[in-house]
Amino acid sequence: MKPMFDEMHAGPAAVRDHYRSYAEWLAQQPQEVMRDRREEAEMIFRRVGITFAVYGDKDSGEGTERLIPFDLIPRVIPAHEWREMEKGLSQRVTALNRFIHDVYHGQEIIKAGVVPAEQILNNAQFRPEMVGVDVPGGVYSHISGIDIVRAANADGSGSYYVLEDNLRVPSGVSYMLENRKMMMRLFPDLFAENRIAPVAHYPDLLLETLRSVAPGGVNEPTVVVLTPGMYNSAYFEHAFLAQQMGIELVEGQDLFVKDDFVFMRTTQGPKRVDVIYRRLDDDFLDPDVFRKGSTLGCPGLLSVVRKGNVTLSNAIGTGVADDKSIYAYVPKMVEFYLGEKPILNNVPTYLCREKDDFKYVLDHLPELVVKEVHGAGGYGMLVGPAASKQEIADFRMHLLANPSNYIAQPTLSLSTCPTFVDQGIAPRHIDLRPFVLSGKDVQMVPGGLTRVALKEGSLVVNSSQGGGTKDTWVLED
């Protein structure tokens, strides 16, 4: 059996230093008080409307709107670990932005033989329409959500790995902010006793980042959040962030193009828009160019981008770098563009499009996690050790039909964190999604969104698959 890394406990009776103060407090809390607090949190989240839409879920009894379960026990990260992770995240996102710029300009990384041409040019997320188009500061992914996991080493220590890069429209930051607000409301004494780095300034940093990438010559840029509408799974977050930044939340029908600029309709008449924080996929942005008949975007938008008169965050075509088959090359990108060794390591990855890798994957399916290269939300994947023989046999047929659509990774023993479940306090597997902002500078708030697999033994933390979230504490020195 693989060793487990427990975030709080170094052994049966040993608590890690950075958890000591919290563990002492937790030991004094009666179970019924914790249960009451959990019910209070659920009631408040329901009242505020913090829900997540689950598509195709007809049996939950709640229609398609669900609360994301919130766990009362925080994940705690010591200052020195966060400093190292922050450096690694900044390095990685900088290299990824350099890669995307290169893909749409000189393609030096292809010429150097580091990434095969077909991996990029045949990628469904590669947008030929963006070739040669310059974006402000050469930044394509202004908001990146990088998924981090920790796995146990043979000596009992734990190492952080990047599981995947989300560079198109990463979501979840509103839950990070609301979780912190909830913890401060339920347990104010904990924040008086512990030096916990703040996260509430994220909307200010986000707005600062968006303004910093406005087209040249615009001093007081107008920034908007573009949402597909209230039926989108993350609509709560779109509305929340617009409100927190004090900017307009718009839908495609609120925008129009005239004289090579984008305008929004207002009660006072048309107003020019300079930066669009878009929360919909490339396909729906401009029906003149991408998906014909889409009513979610704005006709003519790409032509304004090409002329440099509006900035899209994130840029069109950014998805070419968050494809799971491109992920395998990110460590090489760090060395190629920055001349540095990667601070954060990848999880070892097998590309099913490669003959030897594919043979290995087929021979070891019961041991591996296999994912679609464009998959998201925990859908379209196989967790070998948890799958039945029939599920493995069925998945093998999908693999044989389209090998290049899949990657595989060893089943990591994700670290566990004590979690308050119906039976009491028990370990559950977790990951972490820090949010990295890239504009004139690369910035992030300490921590991120900790997601937790609430089913015992499960490694799938996605909210769409029954996962929950926790507050993430980065302790200050």
pLDDT band of 379, cuts 50, 70, 90: low
Confidence of residue 459 (pLDDT cuts 50, 70, 90): confident
Cα–Cα distances (Å) from 85 to 81, 201, 413, in that order, read: 6, 20, 20
Residue 49 has pLDDT above 80, yes or no: no
Domain hosting residue 294, numbered range = 216-309
* Residue 190 is assigned to a structural domain of this protein: yes
| Structural domain contains residue 4 | no
- Report the candidate in 310, 128, 146, 148 with the shortest Cα–Cα distance to residue 216: 310
Query: Cα angle vertex 193, ends 189, 197, to 5°?
Result: 105
pLDDT tens track for 246-304: 999 999 999 999 999 999 999 999 999 999 999 999 999 999 999 998 889 999 999 99
Do 394 and 262 share a structural domain? no
Q: Model confidence over 163-188: pLDDT tens digits?
A: 999 999 999 999 999 999 999 999 99
Asked if 97 and 187 sit in the same domain, the reply is yes
AA identity, residue 278: R
Number of domain units in the chain? 3
**CATH code for the domain in which residue 395 is found:** 3.30.1490.270
Q: Is residue 178 part of a domain?
A: yes
Q: Are residues 434 and 404 in the same domain?
A: no
Which residue is listed with tokens 């820090």? 434
Same structural domain, 394 and 469: no
- Domain co-membership, 317 together with 200: yes
- Asked if 60 and 181 sit in the same domain, the reply is yes
Mean confidence (pLDDT) of the chain: 91
My answer on whether 207 and 169 are in the same domain is yes
Residues 162 and 193 occupy one common structural domain? yes
3-class SS at 336?
Answer: helix
pLDDT of residue 62: 45
With respect to residue 405, please indicate whether it lies within any of the assigned structural domains.
yes
Q: Is residue 325 part of a domain?
A: yes
Do the Cβ atoms of 415 and 429 come closer than 8 Å? yes
Q: Is residue 371 part of a domain?
A: yes
pLDDT at 26: 95
In this structure, the answer to whether residues 108 and 207 fall within a common structural domain is yes
Asked if 230 and 104 sit in the same domain, the reply is no
Task: Decide if 1 is inside a domain.
Answer: no
**Taking Cα atoms as reference points, which of 395, 434, 430 lies closest to residue 415?**
430
Report which secondary-structure segment, H or E, holds 131. none
Sequence-distant (≥ 6) Cβ neighbours of residue 262 within 8 angstroms:
255, 256, 272, 273, 276, 298, 301, 304, 309, 310
Q: Which amino acid is at 387?
A: A
Specify whether 224 is located in the same domain as 203.
no
> 357 and 339: one domain?
no
Identify the CATH number of the domain in which residue 220 sits: 3.40.50.11290
Please report the pLDDT score of residue 61 as a whole number: 44
Is residue 2 assigned to a domain?
no
DSSP assignment letter at 139: -
User: Of 385, 410, 435, at which residue does a domain stop?
Assistant: 410
End-to-end CA distance of the chain: 36
- What gap in Å lies between CA 240 and CA 454, rounded to an integer? 26
Q: Where are the beta strands (DSSP E) in 325-385?
A: 345-346, 350-351, 368-372, 382-383
Helices in 213-290 by DSSP H: which ranges?
235-245
